[in-house]
Amino acid sequence: MNNQKIPNFKVLVLVGAGHANVQVLKHLSMNKYNGLEVILVNDGFSAVYSGMTPGLIENYYKIEEAIIDLPKLCNNSRAILVNDSVTKLDENKNMVYLKEHPPIKFDLLSLNVGSQTKTDHLEISDYAKTINVKPISNLINQLNIIDQIISKKEIVNCSVVGGGIAAIEVSFAIKERFKEKININIISKKLLREKNIKNKTKKILEKFLKLKNIKIINENALSIDENYVISEKKDKILTDISIISSGVMSLPWIEESNINTDKNGFIRVNQTLQTENYKHIFAAGDICSLNFTDRPKSGVMAVRQGEVLKKNIFKFLLEQDLALFKPQSNWLYLIGTGNGNAIMNWKNISLSGHLIWKMKEFIDKKFMNKFKFLKPMSGKISSQTLKLDSKIQNQISINMKCEGCGSKLSKNLLVDYLEKNQSHNTKILSDSTSLKFPNNSITQSIDHIKYFKSMNPYIFGQIAYLHAQNDILASGNKVNSFSVSLGLPNNEKKSQKFFLEYFMEGILSESKKDGGIFASGHTYTSDEPGITINMNGLDFKNQSKADAKEGELIYLTKPLGIGYLMSAFMNNAEEISSFVYKKIINNMTQSNKNILEIINDNEVKILTDISGYGLASHLIDVCSSSNLSAYLDLKDDLLIMNNFEILLKYKSSAYDDNRTASENMIHFKNLITTQKKNIFPILYDPQTSGPLLLSVKEDQKEKFEKSFMTNYGFFPIKIGLFTERKDFSIIV
């Protein structure tokens, strides 16, 4: 039986990881739609949940409890995460333009990008210290500014400009965080004007504000300078830091688009959450304005819209009738007041106390638990197939996809890309490129790595280049030129175009730093996308594995752990948060290129790079070639993430083979302490775009480490030294 896979033919782009779009991704983790490519564009690897923000500010919650881990969510949803911000939207050409990545073409778009704090009514001095409440991530990321001010002053004066629920909650949370070290003034003439807030609730809030010694100044702010907030009555209110929560405004690229907006620049949507003039564009959360009723912007509203959005996007794709969003006329307010207390406002009920806070905590955690993946997704996933147009249906009806040389990318796609990048090869479409070398001696290597599921293909392109670059650097040489073979998914053209552009632009972003010539390329389609790079290097300071000398110190240029950490990530390990994932990506995209400057000025030798076979195997090769042994002193600075539990629990699929190939050449003489016993598996962990292994003379140690720090901004990792040949290659 021919089990034909349906090629992806629709591209769904989710812009912003707001409370609605994350529910779309959660739906995708439990439902598969054949014929759909999903891309999330978000500025950051995590999304802060607004309901937990007050508790996060006052240190009731840890940061990991209050954020949605986007790499993990996308990985489980079979979606690609692109960490970037939008600069322009062309809704007629279906293009989203990004700040640092190539544009993305979409069939269906969902905008859940939040809003920004309204500041156009304020005159703010360049010397004023201010923090905007929106976007929420901005507020959380800048709390350290207040921490720094408080570390220098005995008492800090803080002005909160605005009088809505957000301003009140932030004031309570800031007061709880810093207690008597901070004085807070809420400056607003419009205190608690939100619809449905009862007078009894307002009185309770005013009572708590007075109890916490938070002062209300019933005036509007006009300007903020270095030391004062100036009110409309020209009163000067002493301030060291001002938190602005005076309403919200739209985003420039939304207002510059052709999408219908209201008078304030927010996207007008109907009851199905579609924009008025583009039915293939949906919007939810703060950025949208309902065209059929008036409701305030809030996290609660975004969550409720998400329940409809996650249905309608897929109903639209399946050509089914869409559901209607029916907003409540009255909704529950739970307002944190600090110290484990909250106020409830519901219809005619106003209550306060610790039990109200616990109820709020229960509701917030219930929502957040939807996005926790504590083990690999198991069980039956619902699968549906999107309706295909006749051209693609004919393609599927063919009994066998072309293999061999026929499994290539469309020529039009390839030519379009070459023309866009002004390739000299576009006009003649030659089969090869003639290269001139200053001498007859070159170094050549080839590397292939398979695509990491859900990873931004642009970042993967960077990693693939740096991984291949290591082989040239390990010989002490400079990259001169390279050729690329891209394995692209068996998808429809829009999706293939996305992967082609992102793979190549990622590769070229790194090759430009080398001045390397892109000589030739090849494409093929595959169920296992990946990148192969053949690289040429020119002699710079030619070195080999046989150059190590007895007594020389052994260094690595960066820490290890890619293999087991990515395995843990793929298995939804709780310890691999979005912050750890970012560290993993930063490690793989850290180039070793600057080492050439260091070896030119120091008596340093590059002996090898650490890649798929792991540290032990590569070091054994050096010892065998140099007729030496290596004494290793393994410490926790060797690890990207200092967590031995993960190292012992998770292993890459290549780990066992690496260990079998190397362990007979290793003697664990000094493996006495628990820490050393826990760290030894790192010897066999495979690395992608890993470190270089260097040898340095003992008397050059300080000079080398200082030079390395100057070039990289961190110190190299000393792991041992070479000794005379023993019975074992490595002694730990």
503-522 pLDDT, tens digit per residue, is 999 999 999 999 989 999 99
Domains detected in the chain: 10-115+250-330 (3.50.50.60), 123-247 (3.50.50.60), 404-455+471-491+503-537 (3.30.1330.10), 545-731 (3.90.650.10)
What's the CA gap between 661 and 675, in Å, rounded? 24
Measure the CA–CA gap between 544 and 356, rounded to whole angstroms.
68
Cis peptide before 252 (omega within 30 of 0): no
Instruction: Provide φ and ψ at 627, rounded to 5°.
Output: 55, 50
State the Cα–Cα distance between residues 118 and 68, nearest whole angstrom: 26
Closest CA to 82 of 64, 107, 99: 99
pLDDT digits (tens, 9 = 90+) for 114-157: 999 999 999 999 999 999 999 999 899 998 888 899 888 989 99
- Bridge partners (DSSP) listed for residue 541: none
pLDDT of residue 511: 96
Number of Cβ within 10 Å of residue 565's Cβ equals 27
Residue-level length of the chain: 732
Task: Provide the token pair at 571.
Answer: 């298995």
- What is the model's pLDDT at position 395? 47
> Alpha-carbon distance 576 to 641, whole Å?
9
**Neighbouring residues of 107: CB distance < 8 A, sequence distance ≥ 6:** 10, 11, 12, 94, 280, 494
Bigger pLDDT: 379 vs 705 = 705
Q: Please give the model's pTM, rounded to 2 decimal places.
A: 0.91
Q: How far apart are CA 425 and CA 517, in angstroms?
A: 12
Closest by CA to 103, choosing from 502, 464, 511, 417, is 502
The closest of 501, 220, 175 to 341, measured between CA atoms, is: 175
pLDDT at 418: 63
Reduced 3-state DSSP string for 376-415: CCCCCCEEEECCCCHHHHHHHHCCCCCCHHHCCCCHHHHH
Question: Sign (positive/negative) of CA torsion 687, 692, 697, 699?
Answer: negative
Q: Which of 272-286, 383-397, 422-436 has the highest mean predicted lDDT (pLDDT)? A: 272-286
Q: At what angle do helices 655-662 and 614-626 cross, to 10 degrees?
A: 30
Helix ranges, 153-256 (H): 165-178, 199-211, 252-255
Between 330 and 161, the more confident residue is: 161
Over 50: is that where the pLDDT of 31 sits?
yes
In the chain, the amino acid numbered 109 is L
Predicted confidence band of residue 194 (pLDDT cuts 50, 70, 90): confident
